[in-house]
With several copies, the nearest count.
Chain A
Amino acid sequence: MKIYEYQAKEIFRNYNIPTSKEKIAFSLDEAKSVAKNLTFPIVVKAQVLVGGRGKAGGVKIAKDINELESHVKSILGMNIKGLTVKKVLLAETIKIEAEYYVGITIDREKQSAVLISSASGGMDIEQVAQTSPEKILTIVIPSFLGLKPFQSRNVGYQLFNDANLVNNFISITTNLTRIFFDLDCSLVEINPLALYSVNNEKKLIAVDAKIVFDDNALFKHPDMAALRDIESEEPSEVQAKKADLSYVKLDGDVGCVVNGAGLAMATMDLIKRHGGNPANFLDIGGSSSPEKMRAAMKILTADKNVKAVLVNIFGGITRCDDVAQGLLWAMKEENIALPIVARLVGTNQDKAKALLTDSPITFAETMTDGVKKVIKALKG
């Protein structure tokens, strides 16, 4: 689960990671009132849960209250990658002398949390990693000890010449690690971590902030779970989550209902391979309850792009006749008239076939058969 920059910054401040002086505003009026306690120039930053707001014009610097007003007006309500901007962060600007990157994430290959640092901050770190991997410094964080000061020091002296800055860096990375472990994160990131001067002393400050939590661990952190912004999520995905379905909306026209994540992806791939376009990923899990089937069909068909549906079930514990019955019930209750192809194989597949004989549902024998039939139904 992602949270907004301003929320992440608040967590940073609680962990003694320095940030700019800043305030969140939900409206123009609020922005104007908030600006009174800040010193110009002020940067106005769109708060959205996707990257690329800068390029979209979601970050602008105001040198006075008039500019601020016009920036806030233009940013609030802006659409960035499908998300509407509903709040802006107003932050005092600093004179940035250099930009660094520092983040902590899980390295699957190393089976560990890692601290990633780079002198190439302010840029897309993934791109840096691909084009100039030598600019990326990676440190494995021992899971039982946490990040040790010497580890930050090893990195710090590669980034900075100044012992005070290294100590700054040690403190920031240590606190970042505490956030990562305390709150079960999958990512905490400062990009850019900016170098600036106050009274001739060089200091580091978090100019941006990103925190992503491990969904599986949110039950341990109810206060973090409460930060979830349901409004920013795809409504159909929210609905699916409620029904205990794993659903991801895509752009195609062939809806799919599958049991199992791997099989669901394979089904999408096969649709594409045979010239179709999958409308979604949907894993109904191990259960074959009619309620789940109904919720799945309802979510699928609410997507107006969907023109046909493929049901692909490998029944092991799941019984195919249960699925068939659930499907028929869902179609009736939800008044579904779309062409549906069902491929139900495994436990009680013959019973399922019999159940569907007199229905408008087309029965398919294999995955490939099902995919071909659903594409034919669509184009037919």
Chain B
Amino acid sequence: MAILINENTKLVVQGITGRDGSFHTQQMMEYGTKVVAGVTPGKGGSDVNGVPVFNTVRQAKEETYANSSIIFVPAQFAPDAIYEAVDAEIDLIVCIAEGIPTLEMVKILTFLKGKKTRLVGPNSAGIISPGLCKVGILPALAFKKGKVGVVSRSGTLTYEIASHITKAGYGESTVIGIGGDPIIGTNFVDCLQLFQADKQTEAIVIIGEIGGTDEEKAADFIIKNMTKPVFGFIAGQTAPADKRMGHAGAIIAGGKGTAKEKIQAFEKAGITVIYEPEEITDKLSKVM
């Protein structure tokens, strides 16, 4: 069944006429994603690769019944783009944009409380339900339809690990990049919950990294609620404290959020911890 996106996903691309927006629109369409509309204020009436462009999300939704959105606009305009999609009652927003100020995200999450819209990201690589739909910048070649759910704070590291799963023949149900920022719309627990309920998913891989306590919360959740086997990887064991490792969220601040703590939490929760990406194949073979 896959989670979050599938063949019924009708996508509107916010920032479709930009460099990244137009390129990835083409990539997503080639993958089979139903990109029904684009939005760029002032460019309404034009089209990109045959996709009609609108001035507003509201208009785009009225004309095309879009239910999901992907945001490629620059960080400075991304919060308004998110609010616009929420206001238009889009079900799922995937925010690729990177560099949104943390306090803007705090406001956005407060605003989202009680709303039906789900936000994935920001600073997300997107989502792919292999064979069905791709909403993001993930490279198709790393994925194949299958039974492993993958959720990750990272981009290329996800492709790396997923490619081993793919090569080994298990394939993925859905792969979600939740984003590398400190404050994000959808976290590990949200995704675990969906994977637990998803029939297609038989095992789950969590790819975490230093910073925050999202991995620890996932471990708690797994102890209490999960029956499917879970595998975990944590990046940043050698990262020094108080240094931002690329992602705004990947930082050991005030001695908290170390890889060691996270690995311990995983082990305590019975998660099979992998230390090298290619190990995933072997470990999966023990349960599948």
Q: Say yes or no: is B8 at the interface (Cβ < 8 Å to chain A).
A: no
Q: Say yes or no: is A250 at the interface (Cβ < 8 Å to chain B).
A: yes
Q: Say yes or no: is A120 at the interface (Cβ < 8 Å to chain B).
A: no
Q: Say yes or no: is A142 at the interface (Cβ < 8 Å to chain B).
A: yes
Contacts of B75 in A (CB 8 A): 216
Contacts of A268 in B (CB 8 A): 236, 238-239
Q: Say yes or no: is B157 at the interface (Cβ < 8 Å to chain A).
A: yes
Q: Say yes or no: is A260 at the interface (Cβ < 8 Å to chain B).
A: yes
Q: Are B101 and A217 in contact (CB under 8 A)?
A: yes
Q: Say yes or no: is A334 at the interface (Cβ < 8 Å to chain B).
A: no
Among B23, B83, B139, point to the contact of A150 (Cβ < 8 A). B83
Question: Interface digits, B229-269 against A, CB 8 Å rule (1 contact, 0 not)?
Answer: 00001011111100111111110001110010000000000
Q: How many residues of A contact B (CB 8 A)?
A: 65
Known: A150-B81, A166-B41. A317 touches B137 (CB 8 A): yes
Among A129, A181, A281, A317, point to the contact of B245 (Cβ < 8 A). A281
Known: A145-B111, A163-B42. A215 touches B139 (CB 8 A): no
Closest to B164 in A: A366
Q: Are B80 and A314 in contact (CB under 8 A)?
A: no
A residues 102-141 near B (Cβ < 8 Å) are 106, 108-109, 111-113, 125-126, 129-130
Closest to B107 in A: A143
Known: A262-B155, A266-B277. A148 touches B80 (CB 8 A): yes
Q: Are A265 and B236 in contact (CB under 8 A)?
A: yes
- Complex interface: stretch among A31-39, A61-69, A270-278: A270-278
Q: Say yes or no: is B163 at the interface (Cβ < 8 Å to chain A).
A: yes
Q: Are A269 and B152 in contact (CB under 8 A)?
A: no
- Complex interface: stretch among B29-37, B196-204, B207-215: B207-215
Question: Interface digits, B28-65 against A, CB 8 Å rule (1 contact, 0 not)?
Answer: 00000000000001101000000000011111000000
Q: Say yes or no: is B180 at the interface (Cβ < 8 Å to chain A).
A: yes
Q: How far is the CB of B252 from chain A (nearest CB, A)?
A: 11
Closest to B54 in A: A157
Q: Say yes or no: is B84 at the interface (Cβ < 8 Å to chain A).
A: yes
Q: Are A214 and B238 in contact (CB under 8 A)?
A: no
Q: Are A150 and B102 in contact (CB under 8 A)?
A: no
Residue with the greatest number of chain B CB neighbours at <10 A, chosen from A181, A261, A286: A261
Q: Are B102 and A109 in contact (CB under 8 A)?
A: no
Give Cα A148 to B87, complex, Å: 11
Question: Interface digits, B181-225 against A, CB 8 Å rule (1 contact, 0 not)?
Answer: 011000000000000000000000001011111100100000000
Q: Are A108 and B276 in contact (CB under 8 A)?
A: no
Q: Are B239 and A265 in contact (CB under 8 A)?
A: yes
A residues 252-271 near B (Cβ < 8 Å) are 258-266, 268-271
Q: Are A281 and B158 in contact (CB under 8 A)?
A: no
Q: Say yes or no: is B72 at the interface (Cβ < 8 Å to chain A).
A: no
Residue with the greatest number of chain A CB neighbours at <10 A, chosen from B100, B106, B209: B106
Q: Are A248 and B245 in contact (CB under 8 A)?
A: yes
Q: Are B141 and A316 in contact (CB under 8 A)?
A: yes
Q: Are B137 and A143 in contact (CB under 8 A)?
A: no
Give Cα A216 to B254, complex, Å: 20
Q: Say yes or no: is A54 at the interface (Cβ < 8 Å to chain B).
A: no
Among A111, A149, A220, point to the contact of B106 (Cβ < 8 A). A111
Q: Are B56 and A273 in contact (CB under 8 A)?
A: no
Q: Are A272 and B237 in contact (CB under 8 A)?
A: yes
Give Cα A9 to B254, complex, Å: 22
Give Cα A45 to B190, complex, Å: 48
Give Cα A166 to B158, complex, Å: 42
Known: A142-B111, A314-B160. A264 touches B255 (CB 8 A): no
Give Cα A283 to B249, complex, Å: 15
Closest to B235 in A: A265
Contacts of B106 in A (CB 8 A): 106, 111-113, 143
Known: A149-B80, A153-B56, A219-B76. A367 touches B245 (CB 8 A): no
Give Cα A270 to B233, complex, Å: 12
Q: How far is the CB of A10 from chain B (nearest CB, A)?
A: 22
Residue with the greatest number of chain B CB neighbours at <10 A, chosen from A262, A268, A271: A262
Known: A273-B276, A316-B141. A264 touches B80 (CB 8 A): no
Q: Say yes or no: is B282 at the interface (Cβ < 8 Å to chain A).
A: no
Q: How far is the CB of B127 from chain A (nearest CB, A)?
A: 14
Q: Say yes or no: is A246 at the interface (Cβ < 8 Å to chain B).
A: yes
Q: How far is the CB of B250 from chain A (nearest CB, A)?
A: 6
Q: Are B183 and A181 in contact (CB under 8 A)?
A: no
Q: Are A266 and B157 in contact (CB under 8 A)?
A: yes
Q: Say yes or no: is A315 at the interface (Cβ < 8 Å to chain B).
A: yes
Among A181, A246, A269, point to the contact of B236 (Cβ < 8 A). A269
Q: Say yes or no: is B154 at the interface (Cβ < 8 Å to chain A).
A: yes
Give Cα A202 to B235, complex, Å: 50
Q: Are A265 and B245 in contact (CB under 8 A)?
A: yes
Q: Are A260 and B56 in contact (CB under 8 A)?
A: no
Among A220, A262, A283, point to the contact of B209 (Cβ < 8 A). A262
Known: A262-B235, A263-B157. A154 touches B248 (CB 8 A): no
Q: Say yes or no: is A345 at the interface (Cβ < 8 Å to chain B).
A: yes
Give Cα A250 to B237, complex, Å: 13
Q: How far is the CB of A305 from chain B (nearest CB, A)?
A: 15
Closest to A245 in B: B246
Q: How far is the CB of A250 from chain B (nearest CB, A)?
A: 7
A143-B110, A263-B155 known; 4 other A-B pairs, CB under 8 Å? A108-B211, A250-B240, A264-B246, A278-B238
* 28 CB < 8 A contacts A-B: A108-B182, A108-B213, A108-B249, A111-B106, A144-B111, A148-B84, A150-B83, A150-B84, A150-B87, A163-B55, A214-B102, A215-B244, A216-B75, A216-B102, A248-B239, A260-B154, A265-B239, A265-B246, A268-B239, A269-B237, A269-B275, A273-B276, A314-B157, A314-B159, A316-B156, A367-B160, A367-B277, A368-B276
A residues within 8 Å of B by Cβ? Answer: 106, 108-109, 111-113, 125-126, 129-130, 142-145, 148-151, 153-154, 157, 163, 166-167, 181, 184, 186, 214-217, 219-220, 246, 248, 250, 258-266, 268-273, 278, 281, 283, 286, 314-317, 345-347, 366-368
Pairs A-B, 6 closest by C-beta atoms: A262-B154, A316-B139, A261-B246, A260-B156, A163-B42, A262-B157
